[in-house]
């Protein structure tokens, strides 16, 4: 949305609203309805407020399940290429396209895929794993639904080429670090997942594949865990509603005042989990590090999208 003068502000808002409604009608924002959007829109008291609300709505990035599967599949394919290159005997060889495809398929069959977090069957990593399996993108033999299954398959199968942990999003990265570094009971020992894999299967490379993650998180997790993180899309300040890169320098101060007013008047927090306030959502639910402006519904307020994805 361009920065308008006062005479053009209302026309620009109406134009953006029409565009958003078109997206909704074509189901490009999942199951969000025009009625819900209109109800949300009417809650803003002035044209000035509506302008900033509509700007925020326009900047929201929506990922369908199809988008997520496509990005995760891309990440897995790149992981498998990395596993192949990790085998030193392949570095000095040249392959025909047919030979390379055969090598990719063989490596994929001998790669294990596991949810990044296993604390709950409702965790998003489980959902991603099931989606990959149900769409035929990974086989049941490649899937591990627990660390116990992972260890069992690592021991039973002698030709594992790599391990991939999957999730829809890594926000701050703290959960990923905890999943790898916290001491738990593994194979009858008190150890961490990271230490167990390093001590027992040091030759097997590990990657984390996520659809979306902030650039800083990707770097931090790679440095602390010593594994490669592959993301379908990397978030920057342009996706952070508290950043001047999101608003532009001329719009930033007023945008922040608008968000602060939403917090003061309607109890809509400035940030989600931690200090994050991203402008992203998924068809299956909204990450807890997304800006609450999009999903919070205190005191009867109708949010633009539902937190658990019933509409979006």
Q: Which has the higher per-residue pLDDT, 71 or 6?
A: 71
Please list the residues that pair with 56 across neighbouring strands: none
Tens-place pLDDT, residues 2-38: 555 666 777 889 999 999 999 999 888 887 899 999 9
The pLDDT assigned to 97 comes to 87
Instruction: Tell me the backbone φ, ψ of residue 311, rounded to 5 degrees.
Output: -95, -45
User: What is the average pLDDT across 70-99?
Assistant: 85
Answer yes or no: are the C-beta atoms of 131 and 76 closer than 8 Å.
no
**For residues 126 and 118, what is the distance between their CA atoms, to the nearest angstrom?**
8
Contact 202, 51 (CB under 8 A): no
Mean pLDDT, the chain, rounded, equals 90
Instruction: Give the domain ranges of the chain.
Output: 6-59+242-300, 65-235
Residue 230 makes CB contacts below 8 A (sequence gap 6+) with: 75, 78, 79, 207, 208, 209, 210
CA angle 207, 287, 14 (to 5 degrees): 130
How many CB atoms lie under 10 A from the CB of residue 236? 12
**pLDDT tens-digit profile of 122-136?**
678 888 998 999 998
Of 230 and 127, the one with more pLDDT: 230
Taking residues 159-165, report their average pLDDT. Answer: 95
Two tokens at 225? Answer: 């865990």
How confident is the model at residue 311, as a pLDDT?
47
* pLDDT reported for residue 172: 87
Helix axes 34-41, 6-25, angle to 10 degrees: 150
Q: Which residue has the tokens 């047919």?
A: 98
Predicted model pTM: 0.89
CB 168 within 8 A of CB 127: yes
Question: 65-235 architecture in CATH?
Answer: 3-Layer(aba) Sandwich (3.40)
Asked if residues 163 and 111 have their Cβ atoms less than 8 Å apart, the reply is yes
Please check the confidence at residue 85 and state whether its pLDDT lies above 90.
no
Look up residue 200 and give its two tokens. Answer: 């027992």
Question: What average pLDDT does the segment 102-120 reach?
Answer: 88
Query: At which residue do the structure tokens 């999003």 appear?
Result: 169
Do residues 304 and 40 touch, judged by C-beta distance below 8 A? Answer: yes
**Percent of the chain predicted with pLDDT > 90:** 70
Which range is least confidently modeled, 29-43, 54-68, 92-106, 222-236? 92-106
């Amino acid at each position: 949305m361009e920065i308008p003068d006062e005479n053009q502000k209302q026309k620009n808002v109406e134009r953006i609203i029409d565009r958003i409604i078109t997206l909704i009608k074509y189901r490009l924002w999942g199951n969000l309805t025009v009625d819900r959007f209109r109800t949300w829109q009417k809650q803003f008291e002035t044209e000035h407020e509506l302008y900033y609300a509509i700007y925020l709505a326009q900047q929201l990035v929506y990922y369908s399940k199809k988008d997520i599967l496509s990005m995760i599949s891309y990440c897995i394919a790149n992981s498998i290429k990395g596993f192949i290159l990790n085998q030193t005997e392949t570095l000095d060889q040249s392959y025909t396209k047919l030979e390379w495809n055969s090598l990719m398929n063989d490596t994929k069959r001998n790669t294990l895929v596991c949810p990044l977090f296993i604390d709950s069957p409702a965790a998003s990593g489980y959902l991603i794993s099931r989606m990959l399996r149900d769409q035929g993108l990974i086989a049941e033999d490649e899937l591990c639904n627990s660390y116990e299954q992972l260890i069992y398959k690592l021991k039973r199968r002698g030709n594992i080429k790599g391990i991939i942990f999957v999730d829809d999003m890594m926000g701050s990265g703290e959960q990923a670090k905890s999943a790898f570094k916290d001491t738990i009971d593994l194979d009858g020992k008190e150890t961490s997942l990271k230490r167990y894999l390093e001590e027992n299967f040091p030759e097997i490379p590990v990657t984390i594949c996520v659809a979306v993650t902030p650039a800083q998180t990707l770097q931090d997790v790679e440095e602390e865990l010593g594994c490669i993180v592959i993301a379908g899309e990397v978030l920057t300040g342009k996706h952070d509603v508290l950043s001047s890169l999101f608003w532009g320098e001329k719009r930033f101060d007023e945008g922040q005042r608008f968000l602060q007013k939403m917090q003061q008047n309607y109890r809509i927090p400035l940030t989600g989990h931690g200090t994050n306030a991203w402008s992203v959502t998924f068809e299956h639910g909204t990450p807890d590090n997304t800006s609450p402006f999009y999903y919070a519904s205190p005191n009867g307020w109708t949010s633009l999208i539902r937190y658990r994805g019933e509409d979006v």
